[in-house]
A and B are shown apart, each in its own frame.
Chain A
Amino acid sequence: MSQADATQAAPPKREKLFTADGTPLRKALERANRRRKLTALALVGPLLAFILIFFAFPIAQMMWRSVDNPQIVNALPRTLQALDTWDGQGVPNEAVFAALHADMIEDLDRPRREQTIGPLGIRLNYELSAARSAISRTSRAVQNFDAPYSDAFMDAHRLWGQPELWRIIKREGRPLTLSYYIAATDREYDEAGNIVKRPENRQIYVSLFGRTLALSLAITFMTFALGFPIAYFLANMPMRYANLLMIAVLLPFWTSLLVRTSAWIVLLQQQGVINELLVNIGLISDGNRISMIYNQTGTIIAMTHILLPFMVLPLYSVMRTIPVSYTRAAKSLGATPWTAFRRVYFPQTLPGIGAGGVLVFIISIGYYITPALVGGQSGRMISNEIARHIQQSLNWGLAAALGTMLLVGVLVLYWLYNRLVGADSLKFG
């Protein structure tokens, strides 16, 4: 309205405003804005590039790996074509075996680094035990095979006579696969190609996800229960004492993770400091030492200690900014100390609790060194399985599927948190 007034009030001939050198003001303003935007971009540029190269790109690559499935397509193009007409029942006909023979012979002539039969065997073994040795044993003998090839193959390894191996080759002979996700949810294909639950004694990942969630929640709650009083105590202290005591929170924070974990082992094990003390003062008998480590208790205790600073620091920084006068005012209006705390003080700490809780929860859901060392069999988390698949079994596809599920799970939980509490209320300092 006012702008319209201004233009109307101006003399009709001077419709535009000009700068001293005669450029229209609007243009000059745009140019200045553009320059400022470019400067801003140049300033955040390095960080943006850093995040893209070292964070976004690897994560995208990891997620890609969970569906990428090149091994069978690369190794057996002719076989897959010949399998097109196979109905999935019984052993395929001679034409398929001839195609397989041709594929394997061709592979032998490639330079070793480009051979596809080795990776094929490793890939098939994820779906069917002993498939790797079927492939490698056959590949060593394939040069001497004569027609009819089906007999030669079945002589070389029993698995060639099993329809299951062929069904897997046909099913997984596509550049993309869902099989890693199917395995990551404790499922598998049955004979008819339906996705069904695995036999009970091979189901692990779903219950491990559940346990990881439960342990992380327990740890988050423990850090809150222990951290809240500490932060309150520190925040309501004269600054110079608070700073001094803050060292008690920060010193463990700066100590190596492995040192702290080992210290807990020394303290908590059955022949450890705490059990020894309890036995010596006669609280428990020598034969009834408490198992506090190599189980879930160990994981919760050690991780609570390790993650405590991540709860205390945001809480402390929020509590520092809460004026004491509010509580005093409440009390002067007749509130009991408990009511004043509950209705006036505590609600103001919620942004700190939210920040600390989200921080601790998300860190603990992906933790793996501490659970691996003190968790025993019942205190292991999903990250231990992911690490095992990356480092030992080398099933990177399955590790990527599990990792993606973990990532998406965290994002969903964060989204829920945002809907329920509001992420804008998070305060880290």
Chain B
Amino acid sequence: MSSTTKLFGLSAAVSVLALSAAAQDPVSLTIVSWGGAYTTSQQRAYHEPFMEANPHVTINNDDGSANALAGLRAQSQAGNVTWDLVDMLPSDAQLACDEGIIMQIDHDEMLAAAPDGTPASEDFLPGSLGECFIPQIVYSTILTVRPGAFPDDAQPETIMDLFDVENFPGRRALQDRPGTNLEWALYADGVDPDDIYDVLSTPEGVDRAFAKLDTIKDHIIFWTEGAQAPQLLADGEVAFATGYNGRMFEAIEVEGMDARIVYDGQIVEWDGWVVPADGPNLDVVMDYLYFATDTQRLADQAKYIPYGPARASSAALVGDHADLGIDMNQHMPTAPENYFAPIILDNDFWVDYGDELRERFANWMLQ
């Protein structure tokens, strides 16, 4: 009897040893994101502190987010999931979730509560949580103008001016997809921001949006990649460019490009994490997520890029830019002085109508 107990105790001790050794085995995480200034902000705000606290973990960045949906599906179908965590837009996350290739998230179970104890599901901004999606930032697509293209006393200030080629001549750089362009066309045509998607889900509304776009068609250059928009502005190729507010901030404040952001009609959206189902390092990924989405960490990211933290409790902690020392609050799309006429991007609408409208838009581009 006693020898059995001894044996049991010994084997338990051995397995405990084995477990603790396993926990310290080197782990390498592949985190997929958008690249550029955005990945840098994640590297500095999340990856580095996490690796410091967990020396056995190495984090590799992969800039594949633009095609993450295709990558996730391919890996899942091949039965060889190599990505551990993916930064994704909510509409793509919804599709991946429907296909069952990413994990469902129990936000209160898996994420840290706010410092005052508010559970995560109540602390994240209303409407931002998804079934499989953990929001991280609020970003916006904004209009940027090159002041040198216009006289000082007649500078464009609104989205209407983007569609006014008579008073504001010059070429416009727009993204080569219907999203944002159709919303702005309706907004400039006088539709109230709250009604835009109702109008756009009717055939007449779509016609109306394309008719408005027709008025500037001969003045458009289309951009595909996020980096192209600031480049076209900096080259002086265009007078207006639409683009992501973080990239425009980087170009204007860090690289000194002569351009000005117009916040009228900014199109606001979330971006965040999804976890591929059947990934190889789920335990470590869960630790990382708990760490990287807490109140302090989300506020930290705003030190490097002007994307608003997706948690209400982080807002008060946003401070100065880590390198430039300028106050980041005024550069946030959600700052009160910038948030006067926002259009909240409706992801359900784009998941439903995207296929059809993309074809219509492609047809329109070809004509």
Which residues on A are within 8 Å of B, measured CB to CB? 112-115, 117-119, 121-122, 125-126, 129-133, 136, 201-204, 207-208, 211, 269-272, 294, 372-373, 376-378, 380, 385, 388, 390-395
Contacts and interface: CB of A to CB of B under 8 A. Distances in A.
Interface string B27-71: 000000000000000000000000000000000000000110110
B181 to A, nearest CB: 12
A394 B222 contact: no
B366 A377 contact: yes
Interface string B119-134: 0000000000000000
Given A271-B237, A391-B70, A202 B360 contact: yes
B359 interface: yes
Q: Which 3 A-B pairs have the closest CB atoms?
A: A118-B98, A377-B365, A391-B67
A117 B235 CA distance: 49
Contact of A377 (B97, B98, B176, B355): B176
A323 to B, nearest CB: 50
A407 B222 CA distance: 29
A372 B351 CA distance: 24
Given A202-B356, A269-B237, A132 B351 contact: yes
B354 A393 contact: yes
Contacts of B354: 393
Contacts of B95: 122, 394
B352 interface: yes
B104 interface: yes
A271 B148 CA distance: 14
A392 B67 contact: yes
Nearest to A294: B221
Contacts of A131: 352
B344 interface: no
Given A132-B352, A271-B237, A392-B67, A202 B363 contact: yes
Nearest to B207: A201
B67 A133 contact: no
A115 B237 CA distance: 50
14 contacts: A121-B98, A125-B355, A133-B352, A208-B366, A271-B237, A373-B224, A376-B222, A390-B70, A391-B69, A392-B70, A393-B355, A393-B358, A394-B70, A394-B73
Contact of A119 (B67, B99, B220, B353): B99
Interface string B325-367: 0000000000000000000000010011111101110111110
B26 interface: no
Nearest to B76: A113
A62 B237 CA distance: 40
Counting chain B CB atoms within 10 Å of each CB, the highest count among A126, A204, A271 belongs to: A204
B9 interface: no
Nearest to B68: A391
A111 to B, nearest CB: 9
B236 interface: yes
B222 A377 contact: yes
A124 to B, nearest CB: 11
A271 B235 contact: yes
Contacts of B364: 201
A130 B366 contact: no
Contacts of B352: 125, 129-133
B100 interface: yes
A208 B169 CA distance: 31
A181 to B, nearest CB: 16
Contacts of A376: 221-222
Interface in B200-227: 201, 210, 220-222, 224
Contacts of B160: none
Interface in B274-295: 277
Given A201-B363, A270-B237, A112 B98 contact: no
B222 A202 contact: no
Counting chain A CB atoms within 10 Å of each CB, the highest count among B98, B356, B365 belongs to: B98
Contact of B98 (A126, A136, A393): A136
Contact of B100 (A118, A133, A202, A392): A118
A337 B351 CA distance: 67
A112 B97 CA distance: 10
Contacts of A130: 201, 352-353
B360 A119 contact: no
A122 B364 CA distance: 25
A122 B99 CA distance: 8
A380 B358 CA distance: 15
Contacts of B176: 377
Contacts of B104: 112
